Amino acid sequence: MRDKAKYTHLIKQKATELGFMYCGVSKADFLQDEAQRLDAWLKNDFHGKMNYMENHFDKRLDPRLLVDDAKSVVSLLLNYYPEVQQKDPEAPKLSKYAYGTDYHFIIKDKLKELFAFIQEEIGEVGGRVFVDSAPVMDKAWAVKSGLGWMGKNTNIIHPKHGSFFFIAELILDLELTPDGPMKDYCGTCTKCLDACPTDALVSPYVIDGSKCISYLTIELKDEIIPSEFKGKMENWMFGCDICQDVCPWNRFSKPHNESAFNPQENLLQMSKADWEDLTEEIFRELFKKSAVKRTKYAGLKRNISLLSE
């Protein structure tokens, strides 16, 4: 028991040193409640054309199928809330998480350093690091680890920091002291549901991903966005922050201190006309190491064109 507590403290201390906002632990076990919810979500086709969500159903629910003899899931939060935002109120909008360097690279490096530290300080510990890169239900584990509650907008909300953060995990074959979940403080508030222009939030805690502006501008690879969404995109060309921007808990968001998340110098100065005249060369320059590369130039131009119709 003493070793469990000691190792847990060591890991959380190192996570703080690496810049993570919070670190929590849960027992690596089967996600019973999430199994039913995931099954219903898929049967409703709320995943749209994200066919990969249908794969590895069992692995999504049981971390022991991802790491042999897994005993603990270590969940971590990394703040990305920017100090400054886009200047031109008429310009097509980027989700705040995509202002700087692609978070996958930044977080994976931090996780690898944390894992190396664990092996160095504790011994032969087996495990894997995860940043959106495998079938892991990161929000479910964050809730179980006491890092926040699942908001009605399906984002994890922390009472002191809101929801503008990334979630990552280490799944380890090391027994640690688990944290318990925290209370849901959404109360009777429905600001996120009321504000969603495409009605993607079909009910509290349930999102129809196929209607989400983030899905339409990033995940959907079709040449055109369905006409039913014309006039409803609220000027978003990559991702969407509406349900987070209106959330009262995000008044507690504080600017991040991760320099890699700072935007490329010219990005926030771009005007509406600059975006409409975007060339492939400027796209490559602006988004060299950015998550926006996922849409490719053609995809971003498609999104911008829809906004100007």
Q: What is each CA distance from 226 to 189, 216, 238, in whole angstroms?
A: 31, 9, 16
Q: Is the CA virtual torsion 34, 35, 37, 43 positive or negative?
A: positive
Question: In whole angstroms, what is the distance from residue 184 CA to residue 58 CA?
Answer: 27
- Indicate the residue type of 298: A
CB 164 within 8 A of CB 81: yes
Q: Which of 290, 308, 247, 237 is nearest to 101 (CA)?
A: 290
Question: In whole angstroms, what is the distance from residue 264 CA to residue 267 CA?
Answer: 6
- Count of CB atoms within 10 A of residue 279's CB? 10
Question: In whole angstroms, what is the distance from residue 124 CA to residue 236 CA?
Answer: 47
Residue 93 phi/psi, 5-degree rounding, is -105, 145
Q: Which of 169, 162, 201 is nearest to 79 (CA)?
A: 162
Active site residues: 132
Run of H or E including 59? helix 57-61
Q: Which of 94, 92, 89 is nearest to 238 (CA)?
A: 94
Per DSSP, the three-state class of 224 is coil
Per DSSP, the three-state class of 203 is strand
Question: In whole angstroms, what is the distance from residue 195 CA to residue 227 CA?
Answer: 20
